[in-house]
Chains A and B, each alone.
Chain A
Amino acid sequence: MTTDHKRIGLLYFWTTLVLFAAGGAEALIMRTQLIQPNNHVVGPATYDELFTMHGITMIFFFIIPMTTGAFGNYLLPLMLGARDMAFPRMNALSYWIFLGSGLFVYTSLFLGMAPNAGWFDYVPLASATYDPSPAIDFYCLGIIFNGISSSLTAANFIVTCFKLRAPGMSFNRMPLFCFAMLAASFGLLFALPSLSVDAIFLFLDRAVGTHFFDVAKGGSVLLWQHLFWFFGHPEVYILIVPAFGIATEIIPAFTQRRIVAFPLVAIAEILVVFIGFGVWAHHMFAVGMPTVTVAFFAAATTIVVIPSTIQVFAWTMTMFVGRPRFRTPLLFICGFVFMFVAGGLTGIMFLAVPVDQQLTDTYFVIAHFHYIIFGAAVFPIFGGMYYWFPKVTGKLYYELPGQISFWIIFVGTNVLFFPMHIVGLIGMPRRNYTYPGGLGWGPYNLVESIGAYITAFGIVVLLVNLVVSYFRGLPAGPDPWHGATLEWTTSSPPPEYNYPVIPKVSSAYPNWDYEDRAEDRRKLAGAVMVLDQGHEQPVSSSIDGWWTEVIEMPHDSPWPLALAVSIALVFVFLVVHKWVVAGFAASGLAIALLGWHAREPQEHE
């Protein structure tokens, strides 16, 4: 089983794409249901499952694994000049656990027991009293299961960023994409445990009979919300900061200009996640918190505007002072900036507490966060898919269909989400499976549903274009865009261990440092710094990026898969409340770990 970060990145890519299709299909069914008043395409119970699964899928099984798992895995070591992740086998384990958690959660759908209390799963609605089916157990255990994967990925990314940079890549020369991945990884590592604890408490309440959320026994339903949003708000930045990173790589490549205010953008990427930890209760303005608490969180939330604005300024100014070539990736980034600013402006409206309280649980909220999540996270993903397509496949994509796909998606997205602002302002509540006629909501919903179909069509055009380009596209060569970062210095697709010669770095734009690249070629010709069969990896000092040791990389291994299967079995037996059998399955976990460590990396020689 592979431990190559590029193959694992591609595994993530294809898996998340399938799950994206599932989440998209759920959205289309919902939009079809809402296309007219009093519609009955699906009933209320199915609709509850649809919006819950749509939210869970898009957040936990598409955006996070696509940005970190697919883009991060494939690109991070390449951009750092490393040969793999710091922990390649753990990287493989992350993927297999991710796959297992996806299968686990979607199995519930096919069993007719899909989670149905919203992706935020508020109690008491999600308590055993009101939802005694295993649906919520699937949610709790699925979230914990998936969280293990994300935590492992985050830990791997952080250590890779600090310890596996190419010689000369001091911290201030690390690409902004890597800064974004680092920030998101710190966010995941610190935020996910809070969600896991929440899910553990709820599972214990339901399965064991504890009383964390049972008010009659001294529990608190707001504890769920505090723990959930302590994860949930940083989560928003965890979703969009990697997308910021994609934007900060695409813009310099298509303007042929260094990004404006590089250090400030790097700091802003970190700060936006850091500040994100201090604003969680702004999701709870309607629950009746003390006024001073509400005022504090409203004020704290305004601070997030600062790092966000720094980045928007840097992106737009770089395009303004550079010579932009509006190829498909840059178009998607322009669309992203537009959507992010629009979504940000409606976000600011929520800081006015009375407005927030009025709009809570209306379609205005849906409009706001889809402008952010779809516009600011998914648009850069699409842009990144086009931008790195030549690197991953060695082929050029077709430009005209690419641009057409952008415009269809851009128009479709705005037709889909903009009317939701209006229909929310005139009072349409979210999460209702249908609505009566005569309230003025029907025409807006019709337009939104048409927008959903247009968006879906645009995504199909995008995917078909990439598939056709893969089979018929012209050879791309190593550097079709004259990109700034190291991945463009190696062949397309890159060889197994990325760089036959470990590159030297003198700036944050190493591919534009021609002397360094010429030196790489001289070293390769002279067989200098060609480490042993590509299985050696230099480890660098955490700040300056100079070598401190050379380690041997682990080889391919079946044990990550074995361990993931063991973990999956534990969760399967937990969901059916077979505690003893789950314990036995956990012993399989220990056996897999022993097998994992039985042979040390140097023993493969």
Chain B
Amino acid sequence: MSDYVAGGVPERLVPRTTAARGVPQVVAVVPRRRQPSIALWGMTMFLVSEGMLLASMIASYYYLRFVNHAWPQPGDPRPKVVVPLILVGVLATTSLPMQLAAFAARAGRLTATRLLLLWALVVQSGYLAYEVHDYVGQLHADPVQHDTYTSIYFTLLGADHGHVALGLLFDVWLLGKLARGLTMYRLNALQAIVYYWHAINLLTLVITGVLLSATF
């Protein structure tokens, strides 16, 4: 092999990251990778796109609010405040086990990674189960077809729940993958999914704030 130097590192020493299989190889390669993986870049692009989607809905919410004199519109109940705030707080705490899972995987502690992911999955599932139950209840009380307020309210909330549900699918898939050990591919996936959850938790906070703003 040559001594071709790429950014101060001889070409032959540039890590073959995706070739790393098993905990020892992954742990050895991780510190030598000096920049985020392209998986993380890909997830960033996905989140930008989804963020813009939700941002367009939020902008629409305020546009519709400002063309209406009363908001919520007459006949619509004001959104509940306390329970959604507690729930979104609980969801936000799952960023901690998710991030710890990523740290544990980088350090090669596979069992801890799985347990932390499982912990996050249980809390996130509980959050979504309650929210879906509540969503259905609200729909029965004040249907989406009632007026513009209910249209944007349920659409925005539904879009947020959809993203949480997608995150749960990611979690389940990842746990299935990690059950068969650690590879660089799986570590990349874990880091990308952790990143996804941070973003979704933040977006859920923002969307909850937007929807609760109708009470003021």
Listed in ascending order, the chain A residues whose CB lies under 8 Å from chain B are 86-87, 90, 151, 154-155, 158-159, 162-163, 167, 189-190, 192-194, 196-198, 200-201, 204-205, 208-212, 214, 217-220, 223, 226-227, 230, 523, 526, 528-529, 536, 538-539, 541-542, 544, 546-552, 590, 594, 597, 600-602
Contact = CB atoms under 8 A, between A and B. Distances in A.
Nearest to B151: A210
B55 to A, nearest CB: 8
A557 to B, nearest CB: 15
Given A193-B56, A602-B185, A87 B42 contact: yes
A211 B148 contact: yes
A159 B41 contact: yes
B34 interface: yes
A190 B45 CA distance: 10
B152 A529 contact: no
Given A167-B6, A552-B19, A212 B14 contact: no
Interface stretch (B63-71, B95-103, B108-116, B196-204): B63-71
A218 B15 CA distance: 59
B14 A548 contact: yes
Interface string B40-83: 01100110111011011100100110011000010000000000
A208 B185 contact: no
B1 interface: yes
Contacts of A193: 49-50, 52-53, 55-56
Nearest to B20: A602
Given A208-B144, A212-B152, 8 more contacts: A189-B45, A197-B53, A197-B57, A212-B64, A212-B151, A218-B67, A548-B14, A600-B185
B119 interface: no
26 contacts: A87-B38, A163-B41, A167-B7, A189-B45, A189-B49, A190-B48, A193-B49, A194-B56, A196-B53, A201-B60, A204-B151, A218-B68, A218-B73, A219-B64, A223-B64, A227-B56, A230-B56, A546-B6, A546-B7, A548-B33, A549-B16, A549-B32, A549-B35, A552-B16, A600-B183, A602-B18
B86 interface: no
A549 B67 CA distance: 53
B49 A218 contact: no
Nearest to A538: B14
A86 B56 contact: no
Contacts of B48: 189-190
A550 B8 CA distance: 16
Nearest to B66: A220
B21 interface: yes
A601 B64 contact: no
A192 B49 contact: yes
Contacts of B185: 600-602
A211 B14 contact: no
